[in-house]
């Protein structure tokens, strides 16, 4: 099993450009998540999907959109990138298993907006 995969690993954008971060999991999990990680801020939830076809805003959704394409894939789109969106983005997935949801993380996408 590959677990959770993310593409691309690195990306540099100019202000105003758009891009989509891709995430896929092969663990048949229902729940998927997008986080951003900034120095001294920990991980903050951007968007969340409890199942195929549903999405909900997290703590910091402004400037982002998401699509839960199917059970495996959950993409994050920046329509008009801003320097404040420079961050490391992590995708995660989870499933109810023996009394707990345990999240599994991808390797991250390091995004720089100039």
Partner 1 sequence: AQSVTQLGSHVSVSEGALVLLRCNYSSSVPPYLFWYVQYPNQGLQLLLKYTSAATLVKGINGFEAEFKKSETSFHLTKPSAHMSDAAEYFCAVSGRRDDKIIFGKGTRLHILP
Q: Which residues are near partner 1 by CB under 8 A?
A: 4, 31, 33, 40-45, 48, 50, 58, 90, 92, 94, 96, 99-108
User: Closer to partner 1 at the Cβ: 56 or 79?
Assistant: 56
Nearer CB in complex with partner 1: 5/17? 5
In whole angstroms, the minimum distance from the beta carbon of 48 to partner 1 comes to 6
Q: Which of 66, 71, 98, 72 is nearest to 3 (CA)?
A: 72
Q: Which CB atom, from 17 or from 105, has the smaller least distance to partner 1?
A: 105
* Minimum distance from residue 97 beta carbon to partner 1 (Å): 11
The whole-angstrom separation of Cα 100 and Cα 30 is: 14
- Minimum Å gap between C-beta 16 and partner 1 is 28
Pairing status of strand 64-68 against strand 56-57: unpaired
Q: Which is nearer to partner 1, 31 or 85 (CB)?
A: 31
Of 47, 43, 49, whose CA–CA distance to 63 is shortest? 47
Q: Minimum CB separation from partner 1 for residue 114, in Å? A: 21
Q: Are 48 and 66 in contact (CB under 8 A)?
A: no
First and final C-alpha spacing in the chain:
36
């Amino acid at each position: 099993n590959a677990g959770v995969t993310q593409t691309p690993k690195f990306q540099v954008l100019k202000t105003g450009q758009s891009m989509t971060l891709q995430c896929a999991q092969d663990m048949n999990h229902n729940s998927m998540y997008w986080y951003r990680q900034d120095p001294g801020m920990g991980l903050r939830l951007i968007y969340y999907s409890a199942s195929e076809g549903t999405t909900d805003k997290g703590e910091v959704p402004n400037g982002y959109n998401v699509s839960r394409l199917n059970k495996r894939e959950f993409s994050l789109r920046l329509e008009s990138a801003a320097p404040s969106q420079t961050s490391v983005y992590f995708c995660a997935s989870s499933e109810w298993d023996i009394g707990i949801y345990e999240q599994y993380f991808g390797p991250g996408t390091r995004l720089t907006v100039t």
